[in-house]
Structure 1
């Protein structure tokens, strides 16, 4: 097996005179490491020359020729290893900070603050376009908000273009479909388009993408959303709902500018210079209008949850009601830490309390029965949310059965319900393309961003407005029903004390959570129930396993956002995706930790997943077979925030 970059680049090793500290993130065409030289940090971007081809030289060509304000800087470059080069290494300025979207989620900015972020970004684009350079992959995740001064920094010119830059084939530049302009979509759908003909990406496309960014920042949703074929038709029609209609806290003047940026080509803001002038006028208007100082979304405060949050439920479909409620009332800012209830210490296990596989199956039946009972209680609690919550618990409220929160969080500090562009509800997938870098404090600027080989980022040529492909999962779905949180709680019920030698808890790989939730669009806690260990044929006869590296394959696509019947949804990982990681053998169970996913087309993602059995138990029960270690090969894979 050919070694990967992670196999050869490790912490504390020296590459080209730079000492590696840690991996920061990865995209489709490059991986970035934090490194040090002469006491100063920098970001090393490794681009594999053989697999990337001419794409690998575009960013170097652009950054070597120019230096722009509010754009990440190229410091140096070299090939590595020296004796037999395999990688082009770009030495980039290290920009600690978070992505623009993450900044909005963390700080819940007002309209004035949005304009103050967009103005320097527009000035940077003005300078970039003046040199005939185009970024071609503008999105909120390719803009970092730098720590300290809070300045926006544009990153990742891997898909950029300029005169005399290396040319590559393709009808459209790599980008997320939601940021495509109507004229780009019209070109893609042209029946008379010649083979090999490429779209002439222009400044107007760049301004449209910036308009999408503004729309998301102002409303917390995209102007257009849905399956690819429906999304193509909506973009082509070009009639988004006004931002101030979606969110009454958006000033009308800002809403109108956003719509002009999303208009058809002839009515769109013509260039970055005109956009800068318009933003400067808005800042002047903001000085005399206090409405520009109001946070655009609800905060995570007690007074932010009121009965006016909830629309009328009676006479309406519960799923549609919940979708409308959540989308109309996004929340931003730092959520409060959930109250932790300390569990009672478990009794020491005895031989009679160690469950066998048969015992576990027998115990699963009451759990399923309990789900039905809890569902009835859960519906009552949901209806109870229509009343103002009490400020303090009363003796009649049991601690072990709290009322469902208004955000319907699944035990995660950042609920999926509130950020459509980050972690969407199960019925509506989020953006699923690579970001510039993980949205953490140590985010590096130059992480390469490219399109996935399948899914929303590569458009399939279909007629606008046609029905999306409907594909049913073999084993259930995440479900979009009101009782989702109750069912999830029941599925996590503990079967009893067990004797096991569990591996020590471990943090996820750097950037894994960001990749899963933002890039692939898979929420933490999602389970895919069709994966097979090596040796799996038909049936589910036990197979031999051993401790060490493991590679298994998805049998069927991993889809996100299907309904309760497994219909609809969006592709996150295709059928045949290889999942790689480590197996740890305990006394009674084998535990699997998956850290990498590679699609059949070669797209590679850093992930954090565990192997589960029957969707209820972490780890695979060892089957009795003398001294051999055997487990059932059909497993389920669950996304986690930490290896337990």
Structure 2
């Protein structure tokens, strides 16, 4: 296991490891030092995904582009029995483009200034017939030193002469695929072995999705995979300036041109550069519109983008839920104000007896100032919604007075009494003037912590800790929610069953990716029980406080290779493992299973490591990735159905190690 070998202060190929930076579908990246200079080491497993690593090396060795991360060196490791291809890359300290937008809350002009160097980089890349093929916000870093955008991760890239890799489509996030790519995938008469001819226009479409997210804070299309592909093919996104009235119409029109059908799309990166330069000139002529931040900041009563929910028929309860679930704010939340204690009334002068006077009262000590909020102290979305309920009821009551006619339904709501904290986001104004039934679609999933409508609104556990790095060296597999393969759903298939219970979008087919990695796990099977190990840092707190799960609680899951309606054992090997949650994991229900909320939705992928013992197979789960891409650090063990013993019983079959296809995961506070 890579994390056990590549630890802090370990020297790999002459580079001293400092810490893990991240992981994706094709490798894990560590910060390392050599001769006083930092660099990023990308470890790519040769047996399972090595062909993609050689492809990335082939591209990076031959070219050096502006605003693209640089390749410094490469080697195979360990030297005696190489298992990994290691790419030594330039270290780019900074944050992803999406994180920059969340922290900065930029105006329209700043977005154009950030995209123009990226467009120029694509122009240089395409001039050499190179294509990135996995362009998304998480693959663009904003460099800390100068704020320049830097394109990273050419693992899915291609160019003439690059090693060929099988597959009809290159790995990518479904939300960023163009209408023509989706149409190719869904074509019934597609020949076996036929590959999609990815073009420059596909790259520009992906850049259009990035721009749409940056200006509206939502993806242009979203929903369960089949609905998402249908919407992408139709190609009719709601204009950005309609979703967010702060978006200048000219910028909105350029975004729509990038998302148009192929024949109407911006033709190439050079034309895009010219269009962005024209927008900067327009920004000089109309600074008021172009200098306004695109989202509201963290104020006590400020709304975010002008994206109020529309009335949905006569279902006022659904209307209220969507009004409460406002879009998250951008910018850094301020520290809570330090409120000095109210002055105390001076005590009455004491009556002093001549013989034994009373001792003086002790001085009053002011309380220590409050600590700034941390990820663990910021209340999750559901808590903020609950606290804001009384004020929201007043708002809806005002709407009733002016003619909405919802009083007979709203009178049924009984929100729990609570008082909002200072600085807490509360709706204090009536419906904005631009509110109309032609507002955002019901399934417009926000990039941050707003729950999609196919998951119950009360199921959203918030995103304060989502996608947080695990500070301790933990045996875990981090599967990129942005790297997915599309899979057609056959009637009655596992994917079809999942569709009924959840929307598998940004993280769809994570199970297939993890299963492939598991089947290709190198090395001999380890036939001994694993040693005790502590849970990942923060895992227990995340499970109990954020998700609301109890220690010792268990829930059903399916192993990779499970066949519908069959109990046939499935083969397993030591190494990475990903199991899929079967059904919603609800918490707070009564004895009849009523009420409560969903902590982890159906189709959540639970990833970790599998170890083969003498008589049982042991699985340690350290990460949960929901169908919408939210990631939680957890601590769970695999156990058999109706079995309290740790691990899964081995069902040998001619030397192959197999287990029952249906298992359970159990929350623990330590791996025994």
- TM-score clears 0.5: yes
Match of 1:539 in 2: none
Q: Which runs of 5+ in 1 are unaligned?
A: 342-374, 389-398, 409-416, 431-436, 443-447, 478-502, 517-522, 533-548, 583-591, 600-604, 613-619, 623-632
Shift of 1:339: 8.4
* CA distance, structure 1, for counterparts of residue 486 and residue 636 of structure 2: 32
Pick from 530, 534, 539: which aligns with 2:555?
530
Match of 2:332 in 1: 334
Match of 1:394 in 2: none
Q: Say if 1:260 and 1:598 are closer, same or farther in 2 by CA, change over 3 A.
A: closer
Q: Kindly name which structure, 1 or 2, has the bigger radius of gyration based on alpha carbons.
A: 2
Encode CA deviations 1:479-538: one digit per residue, 9 max, x unaligned.
xxxxxxxxxxxxxxxxxxxxxxxx9997459xx99xx9xxxxxx9527595159xxxxxx
Encode CA deviations 1:586-615: one digit per residue, 9 max, x unaligned.
xxxxxx99535799xxxxx99621459xxx
Match of 2:150 in 1: 153
Match of 1:457 in 2: 484
| 8 Å CA contact retained: 1:98, 1:439 | no
* CA distance, structure 2, for counterparts of residue 561 and residue 215 of structure 1: 34
Encode CA deviations 1:166-197: one digit per residue, 9 max, x unaligned.
00111111101110101101111111100110
Match of 2:447 in 1: 421
* CA distance, structure 1, for counterparts of residue 278 and residue 386 of structure 2: 55
3-state SS of paired residue (1:95): coil
Q: Say if 1:308 and 1:121 are closer, same or farther in 2 by CA, change over 3 A.
A: closer
1:264 and 2:295 aligned: no
Encode CA deviations 1:536-568: one digit per residue, 9 max, x unaligned.
xxxxxxxxxxxxx9999957437699998999x
* CA distance, structure 2, for counterparts of residue 98 and residue 470 of structure 1: 37
Match of 2:117 in 1: 120
| 8 Å CA contact retained: 1:298, 1:330 | no
| 8 Å CA contact retained: 1:175, 1:450 | no
Q: Equivalences for 1:146-295 in 2 at 5 Å? A: 146-289=143-286, 290-295=288-293
Q: Larger relative CO (CA 8 A, sep 6+): 1 or 2?
A: 1
Q: Say if 1:202 and 1:80 are closer, same or farther in 2 by CA, change over 3 A.
A: same
| 8 Å CA contact retained: 2:73, 2:87 | yes
Q: Say if 1:555 and 1:275 are closer, same or farther in 2 by CA, change over 3 A.
A: closer
3-state SS of paired residue (2:86): strand
3-state SS of paired residue (1:250): coil
Shift of 1:403: 3.7
Q: Say if 1:69 and 1:472 are closer, same or farther in 2 by CA, change over 3 A.
A: closer
Q: Say if 1:340 and 1:386 are closer, same or farther in 2 by CA, change over 3 A.
A: farther
| 8 Å CA contact retained: 1:43, 1:93 | yes
TM-score for the superposition, normalised by structure 1: 0.64
Q: Say if 1:216 and 1:91 are closer, same or farther in 2 by CA, change over 3 A.
A: same
| 8 Å CA contact retained: 1:189, 1:462 | no
Shift of 1:81: 0.9
3-state SS of paired residue (1:302): coil
* CA distance, structure 1, for counterparts of residue 576 and residue 164 of structure 2: 36
Match of 1:573 in 2: 604
Shift of 1:55: 1.4
Shift of 1:336: 3.4
| 8 Å CA contact retained: 1:177, 1:457 | yes
1:383 and 2:393 aligned: yes
1:557 and 2:557 aligned: no
| 8 Å CA contact retained: 2:636, 2:665 | yes
1:401 and 2:418 aligned: yes
Comparing 418-427 and 82-91, the one that deviates more: 418-427
Q: Say if 1:572 and 1:25 are closer, same or farther in 2 by CA, change over 3 A.
A: farther
3-state SS of paired residue (2:277): helix
Match of 1:97 in 2: 94
Q: Which runs of 5+ in 2 are unaligned?
A: 340-384, 399-415, 428-442, 460-465, 472-476, 504-532, 558-573, 588-593, 612-618, 638-643, 647-662
Match of 1:323 in 2: 322
